[in-house]
């Protein structure tokens, strides 16, 4: 039940998504990953990818134009 953070601030699409995919692959089921992003495109494709993979996803806008995507690995 560990929580990991992934800092993708300043990274343009698709780098955040690819980093997230990599990080998720090495996590255990039940772990949570918090991805920090400020590229609006990643705000769309990371949650979409994660939901289609079947993970639980929440998005939080922590500042104007800055988001945290919280992903719980479910499988």
User: Could you say whether residue 27 binds another protein (CB under 8 A)?
Assistant: no
Cα distance between residue 14 and residue 33, in whole Å: 18
Q: Which of 1, 25, 26, 28 binds another protein (CB under 8 A)?
A: 1
Neighbours of 6 (CB within 10 A): 20
Cα distance between residue 44 and residue 24, in whole Å: 17
State in angstroms the smallest separation of the CB of 28 from another protein.
Answer: 12
The DSSP code for 42 is H
- Summarize as ranges the residues that interact with another protein (CB under 8 A): 1-5, 10, 12-14, 17-18, 21, 29-30, 32, 38-41, 43-45, 48-49, 51-54, 56-58, 61-65, 70-72, 74-75
């Amino acid at each position: 039940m560990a929580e990991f953070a992934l800092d993708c601030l300043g990274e343009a699409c698709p780098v955040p998504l690819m980093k997230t995919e990599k990080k998720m692959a090495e996590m255990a089921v039940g772990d949570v990953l918090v991805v920090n992003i400020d590229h609006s495109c990643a705000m769309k494709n990371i949650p979409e990818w994660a939901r289609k993979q079947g993970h639980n996803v929440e998005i939080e806008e922590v500042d104007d134009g800055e988001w945290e995507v919280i992903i719980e690995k479910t499988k």
